[in-house]
């Protein structure tokens, strides 16, 4: 059956105390909204509608960056969750199939759970995702009658008997889209909060003779984020899952609790990750690589057999072919490093192509920026760049060419040549001894 996602993300998130809309705060380097979209993506939705309000432009941009086909529905006033869903009606015009309502601030719903809800829809008109709460607090309570979900009562409106129910509403609801909008039309706002409650559709559906049921999930999946403290808790949970997944995928983490992953990190089998490594977004590492301690990687690709770090920094566009070595205090940005090349110590390589087996000496810098434009450096295969070479881009060093240590290379170096670009050395016989004698004599006089 075709599915449409409606993701509610209009709320202000007052308790975040932030200029950034709540759903754009990051977990594993991605906005929490994107996590919700990723869960929903498992249902291969025909349409995705994000209901935005506070910070709608920024929310729209983030949603489109993940999936350009995302539609945005504006909810200018936050009158309640039913009112929010109603704003998606126009975007779903002509759509036939199921609608699933998710919250943009609830990032951990598992795709399997949504699939179970879709399956339950085959036998029930309305399906609600519920959970047994350890501390039910202010959650809406799911009131069962025989084997049917009879209604949902919000905490504020619940009797003390209803408040003693521990089966709670996660907020995720599935129903046929046309049915959903019809039910929402019947929702009023005469309740303790004066809001249009989406949860009211269950009682309304049951009174119309429709069926409703609950799919249960683990409480951890329904974790919602309202404060910075909860955000940090969600990050910790995300990292714990990512570490466990990496380990079961055959990755060695020497000290797992010190390694931080992004939402899209991909790491191959038998790769070893030493302590205190941080993966920003967009990193893939093939099998059998070693990422040594204290390295920071983002937007890069590392091939089989590479050794990176300790203390390496790989920035967006760093592309390492097989068996490349990148050592300590080396920064690489937007550069292709071909097979077996080595950049072992204290270097900056940016906007460059480095040929296979080239050796880049300690302290080499590609001077890629003239203050206005960025320029490219090309280094040939088997080239040898002497220590402390400044490569003033645009410039190229040919295959099997060399540069002398300390050179400032401003012109292209042909294949096989040695370029030396530094002052010639001048030794002055005995000069050091005479100079010292003079200086010490001056000091003795108390000058
Ligand atoms: C809601 C449920 C409650 C459930 C709880 C789970 C209702 C009436 N209550 O309560 O049963 O236990 O979630 O966390 O649905 N939003 C909008 N526009 C609005 C109102 C809300 O986009 O006008 C968005 C919020 O940004 C948020 C989500 O909907 O992402 C939930 O809204 P919130 O006000 O947090 O609902 P709760 O009171 O927590
Ligand atoms: Ca909430």
Give per-residue pLDDT as tens, 357-416: 999 999 999 999 999 999 999 999 999 999 999 999 999 999 999 999 999 999 999 999
Residue 313 has pLDDT above 90, yes or no: yes
Model pLDDT, residue 413:
98
* Mean pLDDT across 72-99: 97
* Mean pLDDT across 106-127: 97
Model pLDDT, residue 361:
98
Band (1; pLDDT cuts 50, 70, 90): confident
The fraction of the chain above a pLDDT of 70, given in percent, is 100
Band (282; pLDDT cuts 50, 70, 90): very high
How far, in Å, from the CA of 223 to the mean position of ligand 2? 10
How is residue 406 written in tokens?
Answer: 């300390």
How far, in Å, from the CA of 117 to the mean position of ligand 2? 21
| Cβ count near 143 (within 10 Å) | 16
- Evaluate the CA torsion angle 197, 202, 207, 209 in order and state its sign: positive
Mean pLDDT, the chain, as a whole number? 97
Nearest-CA residue for ligand 1 atom 38 is: 139
Nearest-CA residue for ligand 1 atom 25 is: 11
How far, in Å, from the CA of 171 to the mean position of ligand 1? 7
How far, in Å, from the CA of 334 to the mean position of ligand 2? 42
pLDDT digits (tens, 9 = 90+) for 332-354: 999 999 999 999 999 999 999 99
Please report which ligand is nearest the Cα atom of 13.
1
Nearest-CA residue for ligand 1 atom 36 is: 81
* Mean pLDDT across 206-220: 97
How far, in Å, from the CA of 23 to the mean position of ligand 2? 12
* Mean pLDDT across 304-326: 98
Nearest-CA residue for ligand 1 atom 22 is: 10
Residues noted as catalytic = 345
User: Residues with Cβ within 6 A of ligand 1?
Assistant: 8-11, 51, 75, 78-81, 83-84, 103-105, 139-140, 152, 154, 168-171, 197-199, 224
Residue 447 has pLDDT above 90, yes or no: no
Model pLDDT, residue 330:
98
Nearest-CA residue for ligand 1 atom 37 is: 139
Atom of ligand 1 nearest to the CA of 10: 22
Please report which ligand is nearest the Cα atom of 155.
1
* Mean pLDDT across 274-298: 98
Residue 176 has pLDDT above 80, yes or no: yes
Atom of ligand 1 nearest to the CA of 197: 8
Cβ–Cβ under 8 Å, residues 152 and 123: no
Please report which ligand is nearest the Cα atom of 137.
1
Model pLDDT, residue 12:
85
């Amino acid at each position: 059956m075709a599915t449409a996602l409606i993701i509610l993300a209009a709320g202000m998130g007052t308790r975040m105390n932030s200029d950034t809309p709540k759903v754009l705060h990051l977990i594993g380097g991605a906005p929490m909204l994107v996590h919700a979209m990723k869960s929903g993506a498992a249902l291969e939705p025909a349409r995705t509608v994000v209901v935005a309000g506070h910070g709608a432009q920024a929310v729209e941009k983030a949603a489109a960056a993940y999936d350009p086909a995302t539609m945005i529905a504006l909810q200018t006033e936050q009158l309640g969750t039913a009112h929010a869903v109603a704003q998606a009606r126009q975007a779903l015009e002509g759509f036939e199939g199921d609608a699933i309502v998710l919250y943009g601030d609830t990032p951990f719903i598992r795709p399997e759970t949504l699939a179970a809800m879709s399956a339950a829809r085959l036998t029930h008109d309305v399906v609600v995702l519920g959970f047994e709460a350890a501390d039910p607090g202010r959650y809406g309570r799911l009131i069962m009658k025989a084997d049917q979900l009879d209604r949902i009562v919000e905490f504020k409106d619940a009797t003390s008997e209803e408040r003693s129910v521990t089966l709670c509403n996660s907020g995720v609801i599935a129903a046929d889209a046309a049915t959903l909008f019809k039910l929402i039309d019947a929702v009023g706002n005469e309740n303790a909060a004066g809001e249009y409650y989406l949860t009211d559709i269950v009682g309304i559906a049951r009174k119309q003779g429709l069926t409703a049921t609950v799919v249960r999930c683990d409480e951890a999946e329904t974790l919602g984020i309202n404060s910075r403290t909860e955000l940090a808790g969600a990050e910790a949970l995300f990292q714990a899952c990512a570490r466990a997944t990496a380990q079961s995928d055959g990755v060695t983490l020497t000290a797992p609790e010190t390694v931080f992953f992004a939402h899209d990190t991909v790491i191959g089998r038998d790769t070893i990750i030493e302590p205190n490594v941080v993966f920003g977004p967009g990193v893939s590492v093939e099998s059998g690589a070693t990422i040594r301690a204290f390295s920071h990687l983002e937007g890069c690709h590392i091939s089989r057999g590479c050794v990176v770090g300790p203390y390496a920094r790989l920035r967006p566009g760093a592309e390492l072919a097989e068996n490349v070595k990148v050592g300590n205090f080396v920064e690489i940005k937007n550069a292709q490093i071909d097979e077996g090349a080595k950049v072992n110590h204290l270097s900056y390589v940016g906007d460059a192509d480095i040929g296979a087996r080239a050796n880049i000496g300690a302290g080499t810098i590609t001077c890629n920026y003239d203050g206005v434009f960025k320029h490219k450096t090309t280094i040939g295969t088997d080239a040898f760049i002497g220590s402390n070479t400044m490569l003033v881009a645009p410039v190229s060093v040919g295959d099997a060419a060399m540069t002398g240590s300390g050179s400032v290379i401003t012109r292209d170096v042909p294949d096989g040549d040695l370029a030396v670009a530094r002052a010639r050395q001048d030794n002055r016989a005995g000069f050091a001894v005479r100079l010292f004698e003079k200086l010490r004599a001056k000091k003795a006089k108390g000058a």
